[in-house]
Structure 1
Amino acid sequence: MEKRTALPISLQPSNLRPIAYRILSKKHGLNIQTDALQVLTETVGSKFGSEWKGSESLQFLEDIAKVWKIQDRGLFVDGTGLKAVIKELTYKDGGSVSFKATRQDTLVDDPVNVEIGFDELKWNDFFRFINPDKQPNYFFDHQRKQFSLIPTPSSKLTFQTKNAVSYFNRRYHLIRDRLSRNSSFQKPSFSSISSIQKSVSNQINELTLIKNVLGRDGSKFLLFGLLSQDAEGNYILEDSSDYIILNLKQAYKSSDCFYCLGMFVIVEGIYSATTNVSTNSNVISGCFYVNYLGHPPAERREVSLEAYGNLDFMGINRDIEDTHISSSHIFRINKNLRKKLLSMEKENVEHKLLILGSDCFLDNAKFMEGLKKLLSKIEDSIIENSDNAPLALVLMGSFTSRPLTPTDSSTATISNSEDYKNGFDNLASILSKFKNIVSRTKIVLIPGPHDPWQALYTLGSSNLNIFPQFSIPKIFLNRLEKLLPKGNLIIGWNPIRVNYLTQEIVIFKDNLYEKLKRNDIVFESDIQREVEKVEKEKEKERISHGKISLDDIDTNQPHVSYKTRQARKMVKALLDQGTLQPFLSNLKIINTACDYALRMEPLPSVVILSDSSFPNVSVTYNGCKVINITKAMGSSRKITYAEYFTSTRQIDFSDLYF
């Protein structure tokens, strides 16, 4: 039966005001302004006529309120914004009232995109390399428990100063919000005798603010905060309320992770008001005796995305050319679109990324010889089957064995710059011989510590390198730009992100393992544990007189190699902390104006690390696959690279001898 069309009537704002107040204000907490009420009155009168009090009209007001809140338009409903919402609600069905065309199911904020059919989608529209300057800067508002999009600031200096001050605060509130969704740290939803007895015995894993331990001497608490040291060298834990001195002499930590200053940790222990090791009168008196110390557990990507309303953190659906959309407007991803993209991922089984190891020294003749052989192998495979062409060939810096540094002589400085440019000219010369690679594969360049312009003041030291690191200046790459088709040369930052359909891939070059291991805090319990382990081995050897029988081997415990154990420790530290640089500023300098580029919250689909201090490894933790690729070329004549297959999310490590 066809739907009946109501004749329009002329309504007065005073007629609709009680209904609008009941639904928009009382139920949804919105304040409708006079001009918006006038727009709403005209719309309802023309759409529903004499049925303006009916269920469809009331549902229409409900839909308006939902869309307004989903779009995060604020508490005050104005006429201009209301017109846009009404237009979006009625666009798809030619004026019929339906919530299917609302913000939660559209591709982007522009209502015109509602018409886009999923059958018209092309996979390459959702395959992009995104540098930090093009990545949306989402700021977590801990009071609203939501992300807000920060527009480009008018004054970068003021913006950076403000970010530097609140850098650790933002990390704290984001991890704290993650823990609030973890069932292990939630209060019981109802009271019962058992739950009351449990709370009396202080066994609930409820996080307590540091300021709330005052006056509760001898009580057991679970605290969460930033691990650091005060001016007197005491370990302290700091949260949003205060900080307290920690006694770690009897503390045990989980052996599956690194613990460094600058990390956020969960500590369990007992507060003592009588012990006061600090002379600072501003700090909470007493001391917190830590029994156990652990990391805040990471959260699976899909859980975080759902909690934050499926925000488009990568900006892949953002139409930059659409000038009528505000720069602070939030974009969300359609769930049906995500399903379609996931289906396209499974279909394109031949798609892959090819990543070389770090330190692709273009001034090294041996490396260039190996690179030429690798390119020849790729070219031959493309000729054999065009589907074998990799989507991208990622080259990791540094691209020179010597840092590009200033010298006392201007002539020498020019010579250094020319040598550096010659390396990329030689790369362009080699690539020109492989037509299929040039036409079908993107070439991605990611800088290292020896590359400009940072090398001019860091002198190649990775400790002085600022992250995110800017891309290599185009002045050195003009021959590559002329050779490659438009869009096939990606001059990346470090780190850089890749959006491939539903996957978020982070590529990052840094020697993280050495940094984590060197700054890992060694507790007295760690030393005691090692001593007991050595004594146990000696006792076994003494009893067996140096002979080991099959009965002495514990076959129930799976054997895990040292490399895998260390890789798991590194991966857990990074993902639990939700950042690529979980250190204090004295260990690593962060450009806080772009610190969102280092954030891993929600977790990426894949993290590709290029750590020359650690061997090739692949570890999956909480659904996030973390891959490390070592040096591109060691002492032997072989090129190390990896192929990441996007359809199956599998990684293949390979060595090519030449």
Structure 2
Amino acid sequence: MADSNKLTKLIHTTFNIYGLKITRKLSVVVAKHLQNNTDLNPEIWLTKIIEQILGQNLPGANVDLDNIKLALKECFKPESTLKETESVLNVIDIFTVPKVVYDTNKKKYTIQRMDNNLFSEAVDKSFVFKERLDLLWYRTQRHASFAPAKFGKTESNKLQLVPIEFLLSQAKTKDVCIMGLLSQITEGQYYLEDYTGSIKIDLKDAFFSSSLIMEGSIVLAKGRYVEGILQVDNIDFPPPDSVENSRVNFGDSNTFGGSHPTSLKLSEKLKAYEEANKDNFIIVISEFWVDSEIVLSKFKVLLSGFSESPPTAIVLCGHFLSFSMTVTSVKKLKEGFKRLAAIIAEFPVIQKNTSLILVPGPYDLSAPNILPRAPLPKYVLEDLLKILPNTYLATNPCRLQYCTKEIVIFRENMLSKLCRNTLHYPKKEEDEASENRGEKIYEAFAKSIIRQSHLTPLLFSMIPVYWKHDQALHLYPTPDLIIVADDFQPYATSYANCKVINPGPFSKSNFAFKCYNPADNIVEDCEIPADDG
């Protein structure tokens, strides 16, 4: 009895040292568990149990019975066994992803959990662009070009970012640097807005450092304030944050979404699994028409080529019909997915080992054309779900976590929309060997969405978004891979250590698709030869 009381006291004291509060009743539960396993060193295992509890990201210091049970369960698993929430492949509903906001009182980024309610209050609309601006403002303040000089040092090349109200007071009129939302408050006249005011700008002599600057973008403008107008000399996007740097602000917090309480990018077990399965890959196809004979036959050729080494997942993006929605669309979809199920059933290894992820297009049978979009309805996929139960009906956009890699998948013709609304186009491409050749349009697109940390940096009039779920389109922290399935030609590029790819429309680009190897972070261009199938 004396040993039991001594162990209970040790448990209570150790929890207090780690800032956790445990009741005597729960201390007795842990003590009995340790006493029943006499081969365990109580102090070592007590530390392991506490580490597991700390990894659950408790809302407060109090520990309950469920926390204890989960910690004990995880502690006594074999080292190589993944935790229950550490799945190798995780398809995340975009409506459940947390919101990253900057808390001006705490002076740090915080994470807010969201509900699935689509109905917004009027005030939610005003918060959308304020939160976009806050995110980029404080991210930029930490950049080397804007961060304050170290104590005792003077750095003449540092830039000072000031709010618009600073200009309106006319405290400084030369070499000013402003960040704000680019908009037309009056037709034909551009303004910059932040939460302190708005100011008219003159872009006549401005140098555009970035290519696809659009109304609705958050931009940096440098110039001279003359007679109530900012004469812009240089206009650019906020500087980017790399995949590695953007994670620094959040520690082990899960900002990407999913059920795991901490970021899976930090999971040693998933990293080991990823390294041990270097040959695993993911196939991405866009514009997969299930009512097209040639598309289904070419897909069968693709499956036969991978029948001995099945992919981990196949991502199929809409549109899933070759024609616009009509009264026959439901029937055609059901018939098409039934035939797709029959084709997959011919390859048992793929049927057993490969997950199928379906991402709807803008005009697929699903929901209003407002982002984010709901998944395809289950009733048109009944036959496919019977044959391939590991099918995921994903939202658009959706997030995919494979081991430690974070992937964003988006089906929308965004490049053409950004080009139609841009104030400035890239220079025309010259000879590939020329050092001064212009930027490719898809490189400019990748730069735009990564530096804006947003998939759709446009006004709501150009692309509608549910006000309460704008965070579903955020790209901060920066993911490892962004798949933007577009009608544009296939491409793969990289910016700020983030890969951006477009598989291209399957039926219009020689049946092209992409293969992504997560372990080596490599994207391969693939297509099905015309003489096959």
TM-score by length of 1: 0.69
For the 8 Å contact 1:227–1:265, the answer to whether it is kept is: yes
Residue 48 and residue 148 in structure 1: after superposition, are their counterparts in 2 closer, same or farther (change >3 A)? closer
1:102-501 equivalences in 2 (<5 Å): 102=51, 106=55, 109=58, 110-111=67-68, 112-113=70-71, 115=75, 118-121=79-82, 125-144=87-106, 145-152=108-115, 156-158=118-120, 161-192=122-153, 194-195=154-155, 198=156, 204-213=158-167, 214-216=169-171, 218-254=173-209, 256-272=210-226, 275=227, 286-318=228-260, 331-333=261-263, 338-356=267-285, 358-379=286-307, 382=308, 388-405=309-326, 413=327, 415-454=328-367, 465-484=369-388, 486=389, 488-501=390-403
Which deviates more from structure 2 when the two are superposed, residues 105-114 or residues 366-375? Answer: 105-114
Structure 2 counterpart of 1:490, which letter? Y
| Aligned residues with identical type, % of pairs | 25
Give a deviation string over 1:544-574, Cα, whole Å, max 9, x none.
xxxxxxxxx997x5476x6x72221110000
Match of 2:485 in 1: 610
Q: Does 1:514 align with 2:416?
A: yes
Match of 2:62 in 1: none
For the 8 Å contact 1:210–1:241, the answer to whether it is kept is: yes
Residue 294 and residue 489 in structure 1: after superposition, are their counterparts in 2 closer, same or farther (change >3 A)? same
For the 8 Å contact 1:237–1:246, the answer to whether it is kept is: yes
| CA positional deviation for 1:191 | 3.8
Residue 212 and residue 120 in structure 1: after superposition, are their counterparts in 2 closer, same or farther (change >3 A)? same
Structure 2 counterpart of 1:483, which letter? I
Residue 191 and residue 137 in structure 1: after superposition, are their counterparts in 2 closer, same or farther (change >3 A)? closer
For the 8 Å contact 1:471–1:494, the answer to whether it is kept is: yes
For the 8 Å contact 1:400–1:450, the answer to whether it is kept is: no
Secondary structure of 1:290's aligned partner: strand
Match of 2:64 in 1: none
Which deviates more from structure 2 when the two are superposed, residues 466-475 or residues 365-374? Answer: 365-374
Secondary structure of 2:519's aligned partner: coil
| CA positional deviation for 1:263 | 0.8
Following the alignment from structure 2 to structure 1, what is the Cα–Cα distance between the partners of residues 149 and 299? 60
Structure 1 counterpart of 2:373, which letter? Q
Give a deviation string over 1:133-155, Cα, whole Å, max 9, x none.
343445543432232332537x6
Structure 1 counterpart of 2:325, which letter? L
Match of 2:503 in 1: 629
Following the alignment from structure 1 to structure 2, what is the Cα–Cα distance between the partners of residues 600 and 554? 31
Residue 217 and residue 186 in structure 1: after superposition, are their counterparts in 2 closer, same or farther (change >3 A)? closer
For the 8 Å contact 2:222–2:232, the answer to whether it is kept is: yes
1:508-587 equivalences in 2 (<5 Å): 508-522=410-424, 557-558=434-435, 565-587=440-462
Secondary structure of 2:186's aligned partner: coil
For the 8 Å contact 1:444–1:489, the answer to whether it is kept is: yes
Structure 2 counterpart of 1:581, which letter? T
Give a deviation string over 1:218-239, Cα, whole Å, max 9, x none.
3321111111111243111111
For the 8 Å contact 1:499–1:505, the answer to whether it is kept is: yes
Match of 1:593 in 2: 468
Which deviates more from structure 2 when the two are superposed, residues 95-104 or residues 162-171? Answer: 95-104
Higher helix share: 1
For the 8 Å contact 1:376–1:434, the answer to whether it is kept is: yes
Q: Name the larger-Rg structure.
A: 1
Residue 99 and residue 341 in structure 1: after superposition, are their counterparts in 2 closer, same or farther (change >3 A)? closer
Following the alignment from structure 2 to structure 1, what is the Cα–Cα distance between the partners of residues 507 and 496? 32
Structure 1: 5+ residue runs without aligned partners? 9-42, 50-56, 68-78, 276-285, 319-330, 383-387, 406-412, 458-464, 538-552
Following the alignment from structure 2 to structure 1, what is the Cα–Cα distance between the partners of residues 453 and 470? 12
Secondary structure of 1:157's aligned partner: coil
1:650 to 511, 518, 522: 522
Q: How many residues align?
A: 505
Following the alignment from structure 1 to structure 2, what is the Cα–Cα distance between the partners of residues 476 and 627? 29
Residue 558 and residue 251 in structure 1: after superposition, are their counterparts in 2 closer, same or farther (change >3 A)? closer
Residue 423 and residue 334 in structure 1: after superposition, are their counterparts in 2 closer, same or farther (change >3 A)? closer
Give a deviation string over 1:144-193, Cα, whole Å, max 9, x none.
2232332537x6524x644323111111111112112212111212245x
Following the alignment from structure 1 to structure 2, what is the Cα–Cα distance between the partners of residues 167 and 568? 27
| CA positional deviation for 1:400 | 0.7
| CA positional deviation for 1:80 | 8.0
Structure 2 counterpart of 1:166, which letter? F
Residue 582 and residue 82 in structure 1: after superposition, are their counterparts in 2 closer, same or farther (change >3 A)? farther
Following the alignment from structure 1 to structure 2, what is the Cα–Cα distance between the partners of residues 157 and 554? 50
Following the alignment from structure 1 to structure 2, what is the Cα–Cα distance between the partners of residues 98 and 425? 53
Residue 600 and residue 374 in structure 1: after superposition, are their counterparts in 2 closer, same or farther (change >3 A)? same
| CA positional deviation for 1:641 | 1.4
2:513 to 613, 626, 641: 641
For the 8 Å contact 1:574–1:580, the answer to whether it is kept is: yes
Secondary structure of 1:189's aligned partner: coil
Match of 1:20 in 2: none
For the 8 Å contact 1:448–1:509, the answer to whether it is kept is: yes
- Which contiguous aligned blocks of 4+ residues in structure 1 show a shift greater than 4 angstroms? 5-8, 46-49, 59-62, 79-88, 91-100, 102-105, 137-140
Give a deviation string over 1:378-424, Cα, whole Å, max 9, x none.
22xx1xxxxx110111111101122224xxxxxxx3x4422232221
Secondary structure of 1:498's aligned partner: strand
Structure 2 counterpart of 1:301, which letter? V
For the 8 Å contact 1:305–1:311, the answer to whether it is kept is: no
* RMSD of Structure 2 on Structure 1 (CA): 3.6
Following the alignment from structure 1 to structure 2, what is the Cα–Cα distance between the partners of residues 289 and 559? 28
| CA positional deviation for 1:303 | 2.0
| CA positional deviation for 1:332 | 2.6
Structure 2 counterpart of 1:345, which letter? E
For the 8 Å contact 1:107–1:317, the answer to whether it is kept is: no
Following the alignment from structure 2 to structure 1, what is the Cα–Cα distance between the partners of residues 164 and 521? 43
Structure 1 counterpart of 2:132, which letter? R
| CA positional deviation for 1:294 | 0.9
Following the alignment from structure 2 to structure 1, what is the Cα–Cα distance between the partners of residues 189 and 202? 8
TM-score by length of 2: 0.84
Secondary structure of 2:234's aligned partner: strand
Residue 151 and residue 572 in structure 1: after superposition, are their counterparts in 2 closer, same or farther (change >3 A)? closer
Structure 1 counterpart of 2:124, which letter? N
Following the alignment from structure 2 to structure 1, what is the Cα–Cα distance between the partners of residues 89 and 524? 21
| CA positional deviation for 1:342 | 2.2
